[in-house]
Structure formats: structure tokens, C-alpha cells
Structure 1
């Protein structure tokens, strides 16, 4: 018998709550005693027989998950299996996979193991990992089209259920922390209450144990844990500053521990590129080249991307990030030139490397992005917020497309700044470089209305606004600064102070090598334009 699945809304007083059940069940039970099942016979109801819309039953227990305060998700969305949940694709699948006492159903891209009626006699409680998996799946589908859609965090998140075993793990604690903060944010609690400190400390303690574990087989889970904690802190714990990438060094260490010669799992691939921005920022703060900007690592990453089953847009995005591993090294060269403006050899190296990056980005613009625009994945729509500045603004088909677009604009602007630094020392000036910087800055501003609708989860996009600021005129800069303040309005005000010109330029210059990072908590370093706190 094939097992299919579809949502059921069994409502009304005295009836079962919204839930899921096996396809052979009638509306009220699952004992298969047709034409009238036992429950219907006792209730004096007409049995509906087998159907395709059904309740969810776990080991014979008609359990339901408790309401998650503030989420407001139908319980029919809370998908849970007693074991074995795995991502299998975006379309529906019907497949008969029989074990000794269970079958699998493939529902909305997830595999659910449903026990046969013979095993329903002994109800078992849902254990904490089961509840966490159900909670995560529910949250992933809870807020599409809003600023709280968790899917914006990356393609790795829907893969997490298959990595949560029967025991509490560091990854489980990290996910629990993320979902708790996400829920508190949606409920409108003050931002200082978003993170539960008890859960936070438990997650950090579990992470420490995971990092000390020499079991290579656990590295993917450890890497995912680091990524989840990093994103959670960036999104929901801004009190310690925008430059406090607490887990970037750990991410670099774990990836290096696997080495470029080891095959990378699908989860590890996604997590690596969802975390790479923070890792490259850490390299810049430490004044060094990226560990991943070597021929061995770049080849390994590109081969893994090409061999993976990720979508075409994500493949383009990940390939772009492989090339962007040049960023820390270019920033290091700029820093050297700032120390010695007569070093023409370093300036020539900077110009050669920056030109290579700029040409690659230009090629991607003329091919990949042009193709996405032609297909309708990137469109221009009426700008209803600031038509006086931009009559049109950009809209995107999905999060990966928006990430590819914004990441491409970010590095196109950064490449221009590197070229200008080289030309300053070499005594040349190409007006086309600033024109190019302005072109991609304007793209960033025109994408802002769509990106703003994704806050607070779109804070990773603030880097585009920061680097675009420099190319704007007075009105465009006001718009850009207001956008940065608006994107951060739901969180603690940045410790560096309000997003004003001094703080914006301090960040843009520091992350392009033009200002140093200073170990201090004194916000004056940004306001006075002498550096950026680290």
C-alpha cells in the first residue's frame, strides 16, 4: 500500500485537533475496521472509510504539539515522524519503503516514517528531538512572504532534521536557541529578551564538547552548529557589536580539519557558503589571506559545487563566493599601501588581482544575472516608497536570487574600491571605475525595498548598503543611512552608535583595508574616523 499525505482540518467541539494520520485512516480513527471503524461505531457516526486527508498519529498516540506562543501555525502544519526525516526534493513523492514495522511517506519534500496499525497499540511520548524537529519544520513554513521567513537563512536549514538524532546534541541546542529567539522576535518582545540565556549557555557548552570531539564523522554537525549559533547571534544578539563574529574562527578551523581532499557533504557545502561571509570578515580583521583562497581549496570547492544537486542559482552564488575568497588578501594589500604609499610593487599586484576579480564579476553580470532578468527571476517593479529617487525597484523570485544579486553588487563595489586604491599609488585615475561603483550602488538602493521586507532576517544584506553609501549623492546617502537604521530598528541600536556617515564609512573603509581595526569598546574610533572596533 502506498502511503500518501495531505493536511486535514478536523475541527469542531469534541473532535480531534488538526493533525496528521495514515492514509488508510478514516476521519476519526485508524483501526481499518471498515465499513465501520471502532471509533465511529461507538460514536454512532457514519464511517468515511479510507481517505487522503488525515490526522497525524505517532505510535498510536493522537498527540498534538503544544501551541508555540506567537507563531499561530495550524497544527496541521506540524509534521513529525518518530524517526528518519530527510529532505528529498521540492515536489511531492509517493514511495513505498517498508521496514519491519513501518512505512515511509514523502510529504512536501520530507520523508516521514509512519508505523503500521500493528504497532499502534503502545502509545509512546514524543521525545525532545522529535518535538524540536516538528517545531523546526513548522517554523520553516510559518511566515512565507514576511520578514520572519526562516528560509532566508539558507538552504541548510531544511536539511537539519535529518541530522538531529534521538539524543540531545549541540546542534539540537543551537536550533532550540534559534527557534526560541525567532519566536520571541515574532511575538514583539523587547530585543534584549529574544535570547534565552539558559538555552544559550547550554548551546555554548554543548558546542565546546563537540569541538573537543575527535570523531571526524561529527564534523558536519559541528559545522552546522557553529553556523546556526553565528546566525542567531548576528540576528538576535547585537549587543556586543556588529564585528563580534564569535564563531568565525571555529568555522574556519572545522572546515580546515576536513581538508580540501575530503569529499564535502551536501549539508557541509551549504553551511560553508552560508558562513563564508563571516569567515572572510574574520580574515580581514586578522590581516591575513583567506585559508580558502588557494588552488587546492578553490578547486575542491568548485568541484563539489558542480557535482552537487543544489539549484542553478545557488551554484552561481557559491561559485561567486569561491572567487570572493580573494577579498581578505586584497584588503591586506590595501592596508600595506596605506602604511607605505610609495610601494608601487604592491600597488601593481593589487591592481592585477582586483582587475581579475572585476572582470569575472562583469562577465557574471553579462551572462548569469542577465539570464535571470530575462527569465523573470529578477524584475523591475514600480517603486512605491521613494519614486522620487528611483521610479523602479527590484523584485526577486526567491531568497537565493536576491542573495546572488546583492552579493554580486557588493563585490562589484568592493573591487572598484580596490582598483582606486591601486591607482592612487600608481598615479593613474580611471573615471570608469567610479562610474561602475555607482552603477552597482544604485542597484543596491533599488533592491532595498524588497530586502527591507525581509527584516529582521535580512541583516546580512546591510553590507551592501554600507559599501554603496560612498557612491551616493546627498539624497542617496540620506536614503542609504535611513535604510541601515530601518533594517536595524528591530534590534538593539548598534554599539558603534547610530548609522550615520562616520560609522558607515568606518565600516566600509575598515573592511576594504583603508582603516585599521582597533581592539577597544570605545565608539569614538568610528565617529572620529580613526578605525573600526574589533
Structure 2
């Protein structure tokens, strides 16, 4: 929406531009006449809408309609409204996003994505791709806040405009190197992955969008040096677990597994203990796709046992250094508290509560990574009661965050659906399996009338894919790929 008029009465009557430098605007000062100051109401309309249209929205400055008997007060010495009255589409979109971050603080405030979005309003001017992507996101979130299951989750006009502008940016060599294009891709990925859940998902991916491929392409193009920018590094932290799954599902080498990219997780940064542990987890998750590909090649007789065994064991060595400090954080009652679970069908009697968003992210992603690493070793050496018990304990840790995830939703804890899905293999009863299925559909706000719903069969297939075995439905020659970067 754009402001129809914020001019003073004299400038409106003379049909000239007003610079709004009240108490006396520049035009009135030049004409040596008294300026009436800002209007008592400001009209906002959608772009390309006539002034008299029913789509126009009038906002009164004084909170109610003006009284015809009201006597004008003497001219104020201070402006009634600040000089930063929204006068452009990017400014209005930025203001709407800021309002959304405030009004939905419970959802956005518990997410690393919120920290990225907080920087966006100042970057909108000059990037149509980012502006239209943020506009689409804001509209979709407002629809969801008004109704958990709206008839239409996306405004098709805004959505198509965002796709068109992003496509233009991706086709422009200059725009490809801009941080704004990367952020626009991230925003559109989040919109599609957490809101538009109407398409069938590929193996392993619980929150997926075609823009995930675009984000990977742009990050690889920018290179590890770009990670020195804190905003780029935040984008990496926000997307790495899904990016790893993306390459993992496609049996492809993940560029962040290279030594150059690995160094960004080892650099000294002023972060919390939970984030330091998370960086260790991410350093191992980034090599998951390559290790999993070698494991599948081992099953095809193309890779030796010692090679793949040493790679998996090296990951376990790193994970063993994380468990102790993470358990210390969970036992610190000033950071994490426990209370009785509200749901009678919950597989855990107690749940975690914390105001620190770093803690559930580190705990859930560590548990997810440990379950996958155990599955790899079980695929190589055979399953054992020790692996099953470890996976069950890690699954319980994920389950104990389920009420926190329900409070903040898929935007606040976007990684939680993937972590929850991988606990399915540790369920010890059909009731727990059904609980996981129902919770996944609830977390992603899936509507049976419009969305593809999670089922036990669908989840089982994705859990099987993390075992390192060859998918029965895929031809063996698909896995005859060279090792290392391609």
C-alpha cells in the first residue's frame, strides 16, 4: 500500500508537491503564506487504485473522525508526525515487517530467522526481489495469524510478483552477487517450506522448496569469504541443516564439506556455549552427504570398509565432545526448566522450557545428527541394543521440546519437524508413532482439504533413507557417482 496524500491543505489545493517540513513547509514558506501543517488524516491505498476506490483506507491522526464543530488550534511549533512518513513502497513493506516482528514476537522472536529479518527493512530500497519477497511473507503470516487454516495461504498476486522479481535478479549477473538476492531467496524458501505445503516432498526433506537449491547456488557462488559478514553467516546457520539434507537426498557432494568452508565453523566468534556446540554439529552435518554417499557406494562394493568406517568413527569422536557440555546446559535451571507435559498422549512425562533460542536448536540438531550417525554405523556393522538405546534417549530429548515447538510454530523452530521425523524409528508403540504423525501435521499447519498430509508410510520411507541403505525404488546406477566434489 502507498500513502495517497500527506501534504498540507495549501499544497493539496494548489496541486503541488509538499516537502512536509512542518511547522511551515517549503512551498508555503516560499509563497509567504501560513501553512496549515500536516493533514488530520492520511489515506493509504493499494498501488494503481483510484483515490475514490472502496479499497482506500483512511487513517485519522486523532484516533476518531474529525468533529465538524472542532475549532482549529494555533499552529504547533513541533511537527505532529515525524519526517519519516512512509513515502515509498519499500519503506511501507519494511514498516509492515517491523510491525509483524513486534506483533508476532512469540513466533519470530524465538528464531534465528528473526535476527535476519530485523536487518531487512534497511535493505529493501533498491531491491525489488527482496521487497516483494518480504511483502509476500508478511501477507502470509498475517493470514495465518487470523486463521490457523485459511482458505488461501498465499496471495497469488504477491506470490507471483515475488517469483518474477526473484527470477529477474537471478538472471542478472550484478544482482547475483548482492546480499539482497540471497536474502530474497531465503525468504521465499521459508514462505514455501513453512506455509505452502501443498506439494509432495523429496526423500529426507521435511521443509523443502525449490528456492533451497537457489540458496545453495548463491552461497557457493559467494564463497567462504562471504561468511565473514555476520548476516551471511546467520543465513548459513539458518539453512545448513536443510542444505545438508538437500545434498544428502540427492546423493551429491556438499560444498560446505570442503576444508575452506569448514574453517568458518572453527573461527573464534563471540557466541554462547550452545552456539559453539552447534558449530561443531554443523561442521559434521556438512560432511554427512559425502559420508552417506560413500556408505551407499560401500553397499555397492565400490568403497572399502576401512575407508568408510574411519569417516563415521571420526564423526562420533566429535559428537562425544558435545554430549557433556550440552547435558550441563540442560541441567542448569537458570537456563532450562522442566515441567509436566500437558498432553496425556505425549511419550514423555516432562517437557523443557527455555527463553534461550540457542538451546533447543543445539539440542535438537545434535540429537538429529547423532541419530543419523548411529544409523550409519548400524548400516555398516549391524544394529545393536546400544545404538537403539542411544537413539531412544536422543529422541526423548527432542520430544521434550515439543510443547515449546508448538508455542512458536514452524517459523520459530523450523528445524524441529525434521528432528521429530527422525525419532519415528525410536517409537516403542503405535501410539507414539501416531503421536509423531499428528504432531508433524499440526506443526506445519497442514489442512487435509488443501495439503498433502504426513502418514506413517511417508515418515517410514524418510527414516529408512537415513539408514545408509540403497533405496529399493531407485536404480543402482543412480549411485555410481565419483567421490569428492563434482
TM range (shorter): 0.7 to 0.9
Aligned pairs, number = 408
Q: 208-217 or 197-206: which moved more?
A: 208-217
Q: 438-447 or 314-323: which moved more?
A: 314-323
Gaps of 5+ in 2: 1-21, 25-36, 47-59, 62-76, 203-207, 475-486
Task: Specify the alignment match of 1:464 in structure 2.
Answer: 419
Task: Specify the alignment match of 1:157 in structure 2.
Answer: 117
CA distance 1:333–1:497, shift in 2 (3 Å): farther
Task: Specify the alignment match of 1:16 in structure 2.
Answer: none
Gaps of 5+ in 1: 1-29, 33-58, 69-74, 77-115, 520-534
**Matched position secondary structure for 2:422:** helix
Contact 1:61 1:124 in 2 (8 A): no
Cα deviations across residues 146-167 of structure 1 (Å, max 9, x unaligned)? x5768463421111122222x4
Task: Specify the alignment match of 2:98 in structure 1.
Answer: 137
How far apart, in 1, do the equivalents of 2:310 and 2:345 lie?
A: 39
Task: Specify the alignment match of 1:332 in structure 2.
Answer: 293
Contact 1:506 1:515 in 2 (8 A): no
Cα deviations across residues 434-475 of structure 1 (Å, max 9, x unaligned)? 221111011112221221222243453111111111012114
CA distance 1:456–1:260, shift in 2 (3 Å): closer
Structure with the bigger RCO (C-alpha within 8 Å, sep 6+) is 2
Cα deviations across residues 72-93 of structure 1 (Å, max 9, x unaligned)? xxx99xxxxxxxxxxxxxxxxx
Task: Specify the alignment match of 1:104 in structure 2.
Answer: none
Q: 482-491 or 462-471: which moved more?
A: 482-491
Cα deviations across residues 306-330 of structure 1 (Å, max 9, x unaligned)? 34x5555445434422321022122
Task: Specify the alignment match of 1:255 in structure 2.
Answer: 219
Task: Specify the alignment match of 2:335 in structure 1.
Answer: 377
CA distance 1:413–1:119, shift in 2 (3 Å): same
How far apart, in 2, do the equivalents of 1:152 and 1:263 lie?
A: 16
How far apart, in 1, do the equivalents of 2:436 and 2:322 lie?
A: 26
Q: Among 169, 178, 181, which residue is 2:128 paired with? A: 169
How far apart, in 1, do the equivalents of 2:449 and 2:300 lie?
A: 33
Q: Among 132, 136, 143, which residue is 1:184 paired with? A: 143
Task: Specify the alignment match of 1:109 in structure 2.
Answer: none
Q: How big is the shift at 1:283?
A: 0.8
Task: Specify the alignment match of 2:89 in structure 1.
Answer: 128
Q: Among 196, 213, 218, which residue is 2:172 paired with? A: 213
Q: How big is the shift at 1:270?
A: 0.8
**Matched position secondary structure for 2:209:** coil
How far apart, in 1, do the equivalents of 2:386 and 2:129 lie?
A: 50
Q: How big is the shift at 1:242?
A: 2.9
Q: 183-192 or 132-141: which moved more?
A: 183-192
How far apart, in 2, do the equivalents of 1:496 and 1:516 lie?
A: 22
State how 1:439-450 maps to structure 2 within 5 Å.
Answer: 439-450=393-404
Q: How big is the shift at 1:516?
A: 3.3
